Structure 1
Amino acid sequence: MQNKLAGYFYKDLLHSSRDSKPLFLCVDIRQDKAEQDQALVSFYKSDNVNWTAPLLCKLEGDAARGSGVDRHMMSSVIFKLMSGFHLNLGNVAINKIFEGEPDHLIPSVLDELLDNDMFTVAGRMIGHSFLYRGPSFPGT
């Protein structure tokens, strides 16, 4: 029953925004990992965005198009949340927003993550993956 209700919920959200200006998420796979991660984080840090608007994903440097790219992007987003981002926050090579066992992750306590709104970014990423039928985050 709960899965059925969740299905109605996400369909209603997407339906109500179907005529909205699409969101365009583009990552250049020719760039290094840090630049790719920065592109993802910058997209999800944007304010005043209708996150239920249609999502168009593109991988610059790759000929792939369509729903496969969207699925790849949502999988990449969840993978990054679980494994960490190549950002320079707090002088570490990889910034992990969540720590712990793969099936039981908890939020990190680094002040730099709070100062840079990374938990807002994480929430938007998890929500987007839910809306666009991507992988779920462990424990959700």
Structure 2
Amino acid sequence: MLKMCLDMKEDIEDQEARIILLQGDAATGEGVKRHFLSMVMNKLHKGFKGYFGKSLGQRHGTSTLLFEGQVDHLIPSTSQVLVQSDLFKMAGRMIGHSFLHGGPPLTGISPAVLHVLLDSNPRKPRETIQLLSLADCSKKANGERGDNELTEHQRVAVILGPSCIDRNQPSLGPTKSPSACGKVLRRTSKQIKQLRKGLQESMFWPLLEARPDVVDVVFPHQSKAECSAQMVLNNIIWPGEGDNEDDDGCPVAIKCRIAGYLRQFVETVTEVKRKQLVKFWLGWELPMPDMQMEVMQGDHPTSSTCFHILRLP
């Protein structure tokens, strides 16, 4: 991999010379491309981290999130610094190029934001449809009798939860929730416009206009991006059974034992660890067909991401 060093120099004559130095071997191949796309989309999920100063030999950094909120209801950050820096346009390019090259998608975006992204109309977001379920909540709270209305205390408890009742929160009328949703979307209108422009610059926008159903593939829910144990196991090509010993002198019994350890690891670890294994194996967190597992003589596991090969000692 390449390492870039930036040195502004102290002397004026030195500043006119090269201030950017690239160190390391040039990395090429499909595995490198997958690793790069995974790193790019990870920045959109977890934010860009900046380091400020050093303390006791360690650098402390803070992450700048481009999308904030709950899972499957993420909205663009309202930071004006991010808007002025055109970072959301950059995010649109990253999303478009990742999809065009088969990379991981951006998960958890609010359906209301996606609706405005495609229709450019923040007045009728999709998520306002969920407000229609308030009548059903009223019937259940009154013993399936639709003749009684919820009290103000019950309405706040249904919408906000018990934790907000004792905090002197303003009461919510039947028309305030949709307007509040519209205000949030209007505050993020510039961010959504930049996101749309970035998708246009990546030449991905015509596909979204012609096929709106692709939106659920480009911006899926968080649950659809899970990396389950069965998904990984179904794509693994295990060491084949042949003679008692392979060309490298490794008995079949040892191969089966190590393969059993790998299967147990995939089935028992958390999803985060499972994604780390797949990323070490392939370059990104998406399981792919023909994930080969080999047993070799060595001290540490290695992988060939370009050829989907994981070598275990």
Q: TM-score, normalised by structure 1?
A: 0.51
After superposition, the Cα gap between the structure-2 partners of 1:112 and 1:72, relative to the gap in structure 1 and judged at 3 Å, is: same
1:97 equivalent to 2:46? Answer no
User: 2:37 aligns to what?
Assistant: 74
The answer as to whether partners of 1:75 and 1:135 remain within 8 angstroms in 2 is yes
Q: What are structure 1's unaligned runs of at least 5 residues?
A: 1-26, 32-59
DSSP 3-state at the match of 2:89: helix
SS at match of 1:86: strand
Residue 75 (structure 2) pairs with residue 106 (structure 1): yes
User: Is the alpha carbon distance of 1:80 and 1:102 closer, same or farther for their aligned partners in structure 2, counting shifts above 3 Å?
Assistant: farther
RCO higher in 1 or 2 (8 Å CA, sep ≥ 6)? 1
Distance in 1 between the 2:43 and 2:97 partners?
A: 14
Q: Distance in 1 between matches of 2:44 and 2:78?
A: 15
Cα-Cα RMSD: 3.0
5 Å-filtered alignment, 1:2-81, equals 28-29=2-3, 61=24, 64-81=27-44
**Cα pair distance change 1:105/1:66, threshold 3 Å:** same
2:96 alignment partner in structure 1: 127
Q: CA deviation at 1:101?
A: 3.3
Which whole-Å CA distance do the structure 2 matches of 1:73 and 1:102 have between them?
24
* In 2, Cα distance between equivalents of 1:28 and 1:94: 23
Q: How far apart, in 2, do the equivalents of 1:72 and 1:111 lie?
A: 31
Deviation at residue 106 of structure 1 after TM alignment: 1.6
Q: Percent identity?
A: 47
1:101–1:62: structure 2 CA closer, same or farther, 3 Å change rule?
Answer: farther
Q: C-alpha distance in 1, partners of 2:88/2:106?
A: 14
Runs of 4 or more consecutive aligned structure 1 residues displaced over 3 Å after TM superposition: 27-31, 60-64, 101-104
**Structure 2 counterpart of 1:43:** none
1:136: Cα distance to partner?
0.6
Change (3 A) 1:84 1:74: same
Deviation at 1:100, TM superposition (A): 2.2
Amino acid paired to 2:70: E
Shift of 1:93: 2.7
**What are the Cα deviations for residues 65-116 of structure 1, in whole angstroms up to 9, with x where unaligned?**
300000111111100001011248xxx8321111123544221110000000
Residue type at the aligned position of 1:98: F
SS in 1 for 2:49: coil
Task: Please report the TM-score for the alignment, with normalisation by the length of structure 2.
Answer: 0.24
Structure ranking higher in helix proportion: 2
Question: Kindly tell me: are residues 130 and 66 of structure 1, through their superposed partners in 2, closer, same or farther at Cα, counting changes over 3 Å?
Answer: same
